[in-house]
């Protein structure tokens, strides 16, 4: 690697632009070498003031640009499979925002392609593993003082949903984070899903089933429930409580700035995920850059991305059919501990 790791960023939307800023101003050891987005004007705006960046409409052109040594994929999920396979063909290390690939079959194709290489090249962007509260919760559950974890109670709330958000996306886009967090915290695969439909909120767009209550079963007999509510109106909230044999532990109750004004006082609630998990994203990208410069791949693997896609797909089927759906995972290949 050169003195600075040359990174191609695919996607210059809300997430991609934030990662471009992060690589340029926050994370040491890397530089933005190329950016690809079909909206080249948006890409030009995202890299304004950053020297030496080439802008492209196509991902393939950015991957082949001079100085590119690694790839950060922040494009929409349906574009991930093609980009990942192109990066693998070039031997480029990848940090891919979730989902790895939205559908389980596509995620499995990516898994099999990386397995054929005989080594890991990609890390999946499940940033909660880098959040201080979640990392501390993982430590508490791992040291054994509370006994076995019996249940996880999770909350995932957004101010409002994008115009094109569907009922299925509450699970395969929003709850996918809880899917990975539960697998990671418990060290267990999720084996079955049930999705319940509370009365929709009056503030939900017509036809959107919001909120939802999703229940996961694990191979170790624990239960994980998730309240997902993407049009709550008041802020972005993420919480997770582990109920164990000899106690409980919870993250997500951190108090922000206390604001006092006429007639009352209260704490501020983040408005979106880029605010709530800003430190987690910083730590995630910094860890990826550092590992890549040393020729290593750490963090959530392609197997983790595939498992999350497979569980989410089962969850969407459970929501649509109104039934309990079992999760079927392919055998785990050798690069991922199989």
* Domains of the chain in sequence order: 5-127+279-308 (3.40.50.720), 129-276+318-326 (3.30.360.10)
Residue that has been written with the tokens 């089933």 in this structure: 209
Query: Where are the extended beta strands (E) located within the chain?
Result: 5-10, 30-36, 54-56, 70-73, 94-97, 122-125, 149-157, 190-196, 212-218, 223-229, 237-244, 247-251, 258-261, 264-267, 325-326
Q: What is the pLDDT of residues 214-268, one digit of tens each?
A: 999 999 999 999 999 999 999 999 999 999 999 999 999 875 677 777 888 777 7
pLDDT attached to residue 263? 81
Peptide bond into 211 cis (omega under 30): yes
User: What is the mean pLDDT, run by run of 10 residues, along the chain of 338 residues?
Assistant: 88 97 97 98 98 97 98 97 98 97 97 96 98 97 97 97 95 97 98 98 97 98 98 94 98 76 78 88 98 96 98 98 97 84
Pairing of strands 149-157, 237-244: antiparallel
pLDDT attached to residue 271? 79
Please tell me the total number of residues recorded for the chain in this structure.
Answer: 338
Pairwise CA distance, residues 100 & 126, whole Å: 10
pLDDT attached to residue 73? 98
């Amino acid at each position: 690697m050169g003195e600075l790791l040359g990174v191609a960023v695919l996607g210059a939307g809300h997430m991609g632009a934030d990662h471009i800023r992060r690589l340029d101003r926050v994370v040491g050891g890397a530089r933005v070498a190329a950016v690809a987005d079909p909206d080249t004007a948006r890409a030009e705006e995202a890299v304004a003031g950053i020297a030496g960046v080439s802008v492209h409409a196509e991902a393939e052109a950015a991957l082949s640009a001079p100085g590119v040594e690694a790839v950060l994929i922040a494009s929409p999920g349906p574009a991930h499979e093609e980009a990942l396979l192109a990066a693998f063909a070039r031997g480029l290390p990848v940090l891919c925002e979730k989902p790895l690939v939205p559908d389980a079959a596509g995620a499995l194709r990516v898994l099999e392609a990386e397995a054929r290489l005989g080594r890991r090249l990609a890390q999946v962007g499940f940033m909660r593993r880098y959040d201080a509260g979640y990392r501390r919760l993982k430590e508490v559950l791992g040291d054994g003082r509370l006994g076995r974890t019996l249940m996880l109670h999770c909350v995932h709330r957004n101010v409002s949903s994008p115009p094109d958000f569907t009922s299925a996306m509450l699970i395969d886009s929003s709850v996918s984070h809880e899917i990975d967090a539960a697998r990671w915290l418990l060290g267990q695969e999720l084996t079955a899903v049930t999705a319940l439909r509370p009365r929709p909120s009056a503030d939900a767009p017509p036809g959107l089933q919001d909120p939802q209550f999703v229940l996961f079963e694990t191979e170790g007999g624990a239960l994980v429930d998730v309240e997902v509510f993407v049009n709550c109106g008041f802020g972005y909230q993420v919480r997770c409580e582990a109920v164990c044999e000899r106690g409980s532990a919870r993250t997500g109750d951190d108090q922000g700035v206390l604001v006092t004004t006429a007639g009352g006082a209260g704490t501020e609630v983040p408005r979106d995920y880029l605010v709530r998990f800003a430190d987690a994203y910083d730590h995630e990208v910094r860890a990826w850059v550092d590992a890549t410069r040393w020729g290593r791949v750490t963090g959530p693997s392609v197997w983790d991305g595939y498992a999350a896609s497979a569980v989410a797909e089962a969850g969407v089927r459970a929501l649509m059919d109104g039934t309990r759906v079992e999760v079927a995972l392919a055998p785990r290949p050798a690069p991922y501990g199989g």
